[in-house]
Amino acid sequence: MATHFKIDGLRAAIDGKEILKGLSLEIKGGEVHAIMGPNGTGKSTLASSLMGHPKYEVTDGEVVLNGEDVLEMAVDERARAGLFLAMQYPSEISGVTNSDFLRSAINARREEGKEISLIKFIRQMEGKMKELEMNPEFAHRYLNEGFSGGEKKRNEILQMMMLDPSIVILDEIDSGLDIDALKIVANGVNAMRSEDRGFLIITHYQRLLDYIKPDFVHVMMQGRIVKSGGPELAERLESEGYDWVKEELGIVDETVGQV
Name the maximum alpha-carbon separation found in the chain.
60
**What minimum distance in Å lies between the beta carbon of 235 and other proteins?**
32
d(CA 101, CA 240): 44
- Sequence letter at residue 73: M
Contact 221/254 with Cβ under 8 angstroms?
yes
Chain positions 211 to 240 lying near other proteins, rule: CB under 8 A, are none
**167, 187, 22: which is closest to 86 by C-alpha?**
167
Q: Which of residues 57-86 bind other proteins (CB under 8 A)?
A: 74-76, 78-80, 85
Residue 95, interface with other proteins (CB under 8 A)?
yes
| Region for 132 from its dihedrals, namely left if φ exceeds 0, alpha if ψ lies in -120 to 50, beta otherwise | alpha
Q: Is 94 in the site for other proteins (CB under 8 A)?
A: yes
Nearer to other proteins among residue 189 and residue 221 (C-beta): 189
96 binds other proteins (CB under 8 A): yes
- Note whether 59 and 13 are within 8 A (CB): yes
* By the rule CB under 8 A, 121 interacts with other proteins: no
Candidate ranges 91-99, 118-126, 127-135, 191-199; the one touching other proteins (CB under 8 A): 91-99
Residue count (the chain):
259
Of 204, 215, 209, nearest in space to 185 by CA: 209
Considering the complex, state which of residue 77 and residue 243 has its C-beta at the smaller distance from other proteins. Answer: 77
Minimum distance, C-beta of residue 217 to other proteins, in the bound complex (Å): 26
Shortest Cβ 95–other proteins spacing (Å): 3
Q: What is the x/- site pattern for other proteins, positions 159-188, by CB under 8 A?
A: x---x-------------------------
User: What is the pairing mode between strands 198-203 and 167-171?
Assistant: parallel
Please count the residues of this chain forming the interface with other proteins, following the rule CB under 8 A.
28
- Contact residue for other proteins among 22, 29, 61, 90 (CB under 8 A): 90
- Is the CB of 167 or the CB of 217 nearer to other proteins? 167
Residue number with CB closer to other proteins (19 or 209): 19
> Cβ of residue 216: shortest distance to other proteins, in angstroms?
25
Candidates 14, 105, 116, 122; binder of other proteins (CB under 8 A) is 105
For residue 205, give every residue at least 6 positions away whose Cβ sits within 8 Å of its Cβ, in sequence order, or none: 174, 238
Could you give phi then psi for residue 38, rounded to 5 degrees? Answer: -65, 170
d(CA 209, CA 134): 23
Tell me which residue of 83, 88, 91, 58 sits closest to 72, measured CA to CA: 58
Q: Which positions lie near other proteins, rule CB under 8 A? A: 51-54, 74-76, 78-80, 85, 87, 90-91, 93-96, 100-102, 104-105, 108-109, 142, 159, 163
